Structure 1
Amino acid sequence: MKRSILLLCVSTLALAACNNSIGNDAATQQVKPGSVSGLDLSSLDKSVKPGDDFFGYANGNWVKRTVIPADRSSVGGFYIADQQREKNTLEMMDALLKASAAADSDDGRIVNYYKAYLDTAAIDKAGIAPAKADLDAIAAIADKRGLASAIGGTLRADVDPFNSTNYKTDHLFGLFVTQGLKTPGETLPYLLQGGLGMPEREYYLSGDAKMAGLRAKYLTYVETVMKAAGDPDPAAAAARVIALETKIARAHESRADSEDFTKAAEVWSRADLDAKAPGIDWGALLGAAQLGSAQKFEAYHAAAIPKLAALVGSEPLDAWKEWLVFHTLNERASVLPAAIRDASFAFNGTAINGIPQQRPRDKLAMNATSNALQDAVGKAYVARYFSAAAKAEIQRMAEGIKAAFAKRVEALAWMAPATKAEAIKKVRSIVVGVGYPDHWRDDTGLAISPTDAYANAKTASLANTRVQLAKIGKPMERGEWWMPAQLVNAVNLPVQNALNFPAAILVKPFFDPNADAAFNYGAIGAVIGHEISHSFDNNGALFDSTGVMRNWWSPADFTHFTQSGKALADQYDQYSPYPGVHVNGPLTLSENIADVAGLSAALDAYKVSLAGKPAPVMDGFTGDQRFFIAYAQAWADKTREESVRSHIATDGHAPDQYRALTVRNLDAWYDAFGVKPGDKLYLAPDKRVHVW
């Protein structure tokens, strides 16, 4: 999935281990009396032949009539679900504003954060003053030891290496805390590459003319920020910041290497940091980062960390101080005066993603509050908007899809018995979280000001980092959530062998409690299957049932698996939205494997849910046809060209219109729509990639 969702009520259930048989009562869902097809019939374009363009067939009229709002880079299934989430959250915020909650309560903190962020008049009046203490501290740095301390003091737990859309951080090193890839039962701090203001290294290094144009616009943005900071020569300072960031970009590992967990499984001791990555005072950095007592580190970007440390030692102190000034303000641009926040939007919103207009401030405030106080907002959200019935139904579906996946593994002719046993053990032990976590974070004592938005952003970020750092050295909690309940997305957590399905995604077009089973299995069922399948994609397959990265495959089995993956990568390499722009098959492989395997398992589970009865024909479509159309409509999408280009350059997911074409790898799709040789999407049976 595009990893991002929101929250629900109060009690996460880890699903029981799957039974071998997928015909169990829990997985069986009879056709509900009075149910509807769930399909958006007005979106269909029946002038398009399904076998030529299934995305256009399922969504063609929707694409024709849909206008991308001026404050958005794209619209689609996620946008539709997020509109419901935003409506609910704004309604909730309005109710909280009218109530009288104590400042040191979850509701009080929500209200104060929202009010301070919303008050742009106060933010503009304060000018750069809220950041003065931070800027003064940077100005006072006198040597490289002080620089290392300043870099360490800014580190925040703000990246997730298992989330393919979330590597970017304003800090020189990214930080993440969970079980090490090869340290079972041992929770470690992960160190990752960071320090760039643009999305990733290719924005600095590519010779593409469009990338060069973006670099020129980025220079203008950095200059604007340095001018607001009071720099006497902001143009020269901006040039030096970008020159330094270009060197940082050269030090970074590629996106493809970042996605390869086998290259990220190095555990470094405290002494290794000094020995392998000289140039920076690690003692000063780690002490300021509250990591002074840590003795082991997951060196996730082991090739980049030494190069970044060397740059700290070799580049002029003043250049690093200018870099710190820019990133301090860039990170908090949304709560700084209009000159900075408007320049930030002009670059990050318009130049990078093609969005012509900023979103209304109340919606920005709502989302900022939700991101900063995730559990507080999530708890309030699910209490109002997520039903126990919806939770129970998704849990039943997840059980059935897990069981269907296990049965698919059992039927594999190419897999050796020992490998097969490990795979089945893994799928049965997946922990599925639906809606919200078992335990909400206690923020008692967290002081949120009703008037200082800049301080609030710093306070919330530091509080989250402290919670993460407190886990170091403790046993991993398999039920821990990595997405807020009020986020429209879903996630697979490989080191926990667990899944999160936040409450906010459990709405149309992904889930409709009134719809027939074909719709729900094709839409949210495919999402569930997708996340289950991530445990068996080219990265997830490297982890065992306990979340430890180890090889549980026979050589022959892994060779067969890898060859199937290559065939799928080759298939996606052919997709091209614009001349000269192609989907990166290897980069998007894990997501594409999860789509194919997940959709297949969801279809199997749907068939079992019918309990041997024929699926009804609804709105003129058979059950299989509705299943596949629901899947494609969940991936409805219309995106600005700038955003598509950025997406392909940086995202581990294929653009949505190509994800809808996953269907061409399932034999049942050909039967359902009569797809024949000569149709543009037709694949000969031996060219259809099944993987699992």
Structure 2
Amino acid sequence: MTLSRFVPLSLTVAIAASLAACGKTEAPAADAARPGFDPAQIKTPSVAFNAGDLDLSASACTDLDAFVNGNWLKANPVPGDQTTWGSFEILRERSLEVQRALVEQAAAASAKAGTVEAQIGDLWKSGSDEAAIEAAGIAPLQPELDRIAALDDGAAIAGYLREAYAQGRGFLFSLYASPDFKDSANVIAYVGQGGLGLPEKGYYFDDSQAGIREAYVGYIEKLLALSGIEAAQAKEQARAVMDFETRLAKASLSRIELRDPAKRYNPLSAADADRQTPHFSWTALFDALEVPAKDKFSLAQPGFFAELDTMLAEVPATTWQAYLRFHTVDGAAPYLSTAFEQANFDFFSKTLRGQQEMQPRWKRVLESVNGAMGEALGQLYVDAVFPADSKVAMEHLVENLSVALKARLEALPWMGEDTKKKALEKWASFTPKIGYPDRWRDWSGLATRSDSYLGNMQAARAFNYRYMLDKIGKPVDKTEWGMTPQTVNAYYNAAKNEIVFPAAILQPPFFDAKADPALNYGGIGAVIGHEMMHGYDDSGSQFAANGNFDNWWTDADRKAFDARTDKLVAQFDGYESLPGVHVKGRLTLGENIGDLGGLTVAYDALQVALEEDPSRNVDIDGYSQDQRFFMNWATVWRRNFTEGELRVRLNTDPHAPANFRANGAPSNMPSFAAAFQCKAGDAMVRGDDQRVVIW
């Protein structure tokens, strides 16, 4: 999975995945398919663990990832239209094929206007009409560009920004609704740094990124020229935009700094905020947005907003025009004619991430449908392919993992009783969500057409942004989901203290109701444990059982926790992913805590399950249940990357590269060494001074 941008508050945790491929094909199961749709027609490679895929020339005690995945990785390079390829991507392909059948069915049906089927059908038809999109060119965006061209001073620019945010077009900063860190039962507005076109602030300064910076300037120039700016002016304006963004980058916090919740929360009134930014009125913005945020909202990263305010006063209007024009065209490029879409692909996908081919149009349009009406499409997806018994089996697994986690918390030798009591209170308040929401979102009011791709995307963006803004000042709706059911992923939300598992992840190698216990506990069991452990990672552990940002630790226990997590930081700092480029242990700490704790708890739960039913504790294909547990864990993280994608992730992704996730947690577990009869000194066996034990 790719985290393309940082979401400051949600603490959403991505679970990347990868699978064992073989020559067979399989389709998603279904209890009751939608009329006219046969899921058995969807054919994708099997991704379940297969002992025949093992590389017997490698040793699990030296490199578990190579032993389990080496043969598969050699046989499955990254396809030209991808930047990564593994279990996660193959399951995503399966989900996309199902979704494609559903949207084509919706587009072909004579659904009543305003229904979900009609809206999805309009999105699909307008995005698929290449001739109309080509004929329109830049025209659908021209009124907005003319508005930007008329901006002549800081006051006019501030006014334009207010209008743009009211339509969901955020340029310079993020503005979103989320539970109050200190009162998690209620929603407030959050404002955070933004405004950058490159993935992270380091891209603007690091010597290693000089080539990317030059390519980015070239992309800005090309898009400005395509939008109608004369060539010489486009070249000059592109440099001005780059200087503008570099100034913002200097005032921004890094990804590592933003992992600290305290740097994402700064509550104050709009009147107080207005005094901090005299050239930009937050009172006026909230009036324009029609949201009750004047008494309290969070304006974090004050240094960034001080610089932004200065720029409103100092930066010439012509530079602001160039910046706003470029980002307006850049945001619309995927929905415009080929020249714009190709330029966008050439920089962001090809140059930055190493993707060699643009994905077929149906996948690009389907991505847009998901962005516009993802949950609505998810409702169709669940009706078509999600078996009810999967949800029941998952509930049982979650309960088993929960019991194992409680036992581990109760037995912690390094935590005092006062802190342990609070940790157990948090354990007792976990809320699991499985498959799909209990209540589906209402889409009435979203107006769509079959003949305007950009118009539909703009309408959906404004509709969804309004939906989000309307939560401000109201109680938190705990039934809402942060992911769609068709997403191959999972997450933890600290403010709600919930763990969430969408329907699409409940397939092999993660989950298979017919598999032996080892595979399910090493797959989805470890994912369940991973998400639970996010409640106790370096960030999630700063939130209490009720979801509030509240210290529930004694000083001594926090010090002991930090000492243990510092060892995990050092472990991952030591992994060299590319020549001279190491994993950032501090950036990836939360995920690494989740992996280590989650796999440990899943192993405990497996032992309990095998004790309860000894008949299932049998060798299969010559491997014990313990061995198959760890081998399926590695199968989950089977993944190839393009070099460009890997470089971006090492700078921006809070997840370590997949091979280090496959090896990292097991190398700290004596149960792994025992399972494979590894010896002291083997690469996958850490000595007592190196071994990390946290939860």
Q: Would you say same fold, with TM above 0.5?
A: yes
| Contact preservation (8 Å) 1:526, 1:595 | yes
1:665 maps to 668
CA contact (8 A) 2:270 2:283 kept: no
Aligned partner of 1:116: which letter?
S
Pair 1:105-2:105 in alignment? no
**Paired letter, 1:237:** Q
**Residues 551-610 of structure 1: per-residue CA shift (max 9 Å, x gap):** 101111111111110000000001012121000001110110010001111111122222
The answer as to whether partners of 1:592 and 1:659 remain within 8 angstroms in 2 is: yes
| Residue matched to 1:24 | none
3-state SS, counterpart of residue 179 of structure 1 = strand
Whole-Å Cα distance in 2 between the matches of residues 66 and 82 of structure 1? 16
1:52 aligns with 2:65: no
Could you tell me which of 633, 655, 663 is aligned with 1:631? 633
* Counterpart Cα distance in 2 of 1:184 and 1:82: 33
Which residue of 1 is the match for residue 644 of structure 2?
642
Distance 2:221 2:181 in 1: 41
3-state SS in 2 of match to 1:100: coil
Corresponding residue SS for 1:332: helix
Q: Give the secondary structure class of the aligned counterpart of 2:433.
A: strand
> For residue 590 of structure 2, what is the aligned residue in structure 1?
590
Cα shift at 1:140: 2.3
Q: Which piece of structure 1 moves more, 554-563 or 269-278?
A: 269-278
Say whether 1:72 aligns with 2:82.
yes
Does the 8 Å contact 1:283/1:292 carry over to 2? Answer: no
Instruction: Give the gaps of 5 or more residues in structure 2.
Output: 1-12, 18-27, 32-45
Alignment of 1:119-198 (within 5 A): 119-155=129-165, 171-198=171-198
Distance apart, 1:309 and its partner CA = 2.5
Q: Are positions 1:676 and 2:671 aligned together?
A: no
| In 2: Cα distance, 1:663 partner to 1:63 partner | 20
CA contact (8 A) 2:293 2:473 kept: no
Q: Map 1:192-591; keep pairs closer than 5 Å.
A: 192-208=192-208, 211-232=209-230, 233-291=233-291, 294-591=294-591
Q: How many matched pairs?
A: 654
Post-superposition shift, 1:184?
3.9
Picking from 606, 621, 624, the partner of 1:622 is 624
- Among 645, 651, 655, the alignment partner of 1:653 is 655
| TM-score, length basis structure 1 | 0.91
1:428-481 per-residue CA deviation (whole Å, 9 max, x = no partner) reads: 211111111121111112111111111111111111111111111111123321
> Structure 1 residue 42 and structure 2 residue 40: aligned?
no
1:157–1:422: structure 2 CA closer, same or farther, 3 Å change rule? farther
User: Shift in Å at residue 612 of structure 1?
Assistant: 3.4
Query: What SS class does the counterpart of residue 121 from structure 2 fall into?
Result: helix
* Deviations, residues 293-323 of structure 1 (Å, cap 9, x unaligned): 5321122333322222222222111111111
Q: CA deviation at 1:292?
A: 6.9
CA distance in 1, matches of 2:359, 2:172: 29
Q: Please give the alpha-carbon distance, in whole angstroms, between the structure 1 residues aligned to 2:165 and 2:693.
A: 43
Q: Secondary structure at the match of 1:149?
A: helix
Q: 1:213 and 1:198, CA in 2 relative to 1: closer, same or farther beyond 3 A?
A: same
User: What do the CA deviations read for 1:103-129 (whole angstroms, capped 9, x no partner)?
Assistant: 210011111001111222211110111
Residue by residue over 1:374-422, the C-alpha shift from the partner in whole angstroms, topping out at 9 and shown as x without a partner, is 1210111111111110011111111211221111100112211111111
| Cα separation, 2, equivalents of 1:85 and 1:623 | 30
Query: Does 2:689 correspond to 1:689?
Result: no
C-alpha distance in 1 between matches for 2:414 and 2:140: 63
CA contact under 8 A between 1:9 and 1:381: conserved in structure 2? no
Equivalent pair of 1:506/1:524 in contact (CA under 8 Å): yes
Distance 1:157 1:131, change over 3 A: closer
Work out whether residues 673 and 684 of structure 2, in 8 Å CA contact, stay in contact via their aligned partners in 1.
no
Mark the CA change 1:509 to 1:149 in structure 2 (over 3 Å): closer, same or farther. farther
Q: In 2, are the aligned partners of 1:156 and 1:461 still within 8 Å (CA)?
A: no
Asked if the contact 1:8/1:386 (under 8 Å) is kept, the reply is: yes
* Cα distance change of structure 1 residues 293 and 142 upon mapping to structure 2, 3 Å threshold: farther
1:486 is displaced (CA, Å) by 1.2
Quote how far apart the aligned CAs of 1:42 are. Answer: 3.3
Shift of 1:3: 5.6
Cα deviation 1:320-351 (Å, max 9, x = unaligned): 11111111111111001111110000000001
Relative distance call for 1:604 and 1:673 in structure 2 (3 A) is: same
SS of aligned partner of 1:485? coil
Stretch moving more, 292-301 or 385-394: 292-301
User: Alpha-carbon deviations, 1:126-160, whole Å to 9, x = none?
Assistant: 011111121122122233222112223333898xx
CA contact (8 A) 2:509 2:519 kept: no
1:349-370 deviation line (CA, Å, top 9, x unaligned):
0011100100000111112101
SS of residue in 2 equivalent to 1:373: helix
SS of the residue 1:255 aligns to: coil
The 1:594/1:253 distance shift into structure 2, 3 A limit, reads same
CA contact (8 A) 1:157 1:464 kept: no
Could you tell me the percent identity over the aligned residues?
A: 35
- Mark the runs of 5 or more structure 1 residues left unpaired by the alignment: 11-35, 159-168
Give me the CA root mean square deviation: 2.1
- 1-side partners of 2:356 and 2:165: how far apart? 32
Q: Is the 8 A contact 1:4 1:487 kept in 2?
A: no
Q: Work out the CA distance in 2 between the residues paired with 1:292 and 1:324.
A: 27
Name the residue aligned to 1:2. 14
Q: Tell me the CA shift for residue 222 of structure 1.
A: 0.7
2:274, 2:198 → 1: CA distance? Answer: 29
Deviates more, 1:563-572 or 1:43-52: 43-52
- The alignment partner of 1:685 has SS state of coil
Q: Distance in 2 between matches of 1:103 and 1:611?
A: 57
SS across alignment from 2:268: strand
Closer, same or farther: CA 288–322 of 1 in aligned 2, 3 Å: farther
Q: Does structure 2 retain, via aligned residues, the 8 Å contact 1:529–1:599?
A: yes
Q: What amino acid maps onto 1:420 in structure 2? A: K
1:141–1:147 CA contact under 8 A, matched in 2: yes
Q: In the TM superposition, what whole-angstrom CA distance separates every residue of 1:525-572 from its partner, at most 9, and x where no partner exists?
A: 111111110000000000001100111011111111111100000000
Structure 1 position 267, deviation (Å) = 0.5
Moved more, 590-599 or 479-488: 479-488
Normalised TM-score (structure 2): 0.91
* 8 Å Cα contact 1:278/1:310 also seen in 2: no
Contact 2:537–2:594 (8 Å) recurs in 1: yes
**Cα pair 1:8 1:382 within 8 Å, conserved:** no
The answer to whether the 8 Å contact 1:38/1:515 transfers is: no
Q: CA deviation at 1:2?
A: 2.5
Letter in 1 for 2:691: R
Rounded Cα–Cα distance in structure 2 between residues aligned with 1:667 and 1:310: 56
- Aligned partners of 1:182 and 1:265 also within 8 Å: no
Match of 2:35 in 1: none
The superposition leaves residues 167-198 of structure 1 with CA deviations (integer Å, 9 ceiling, x where unpaired) of: xx962011221111123433111101111111
1:8 CA drift (Å): 12
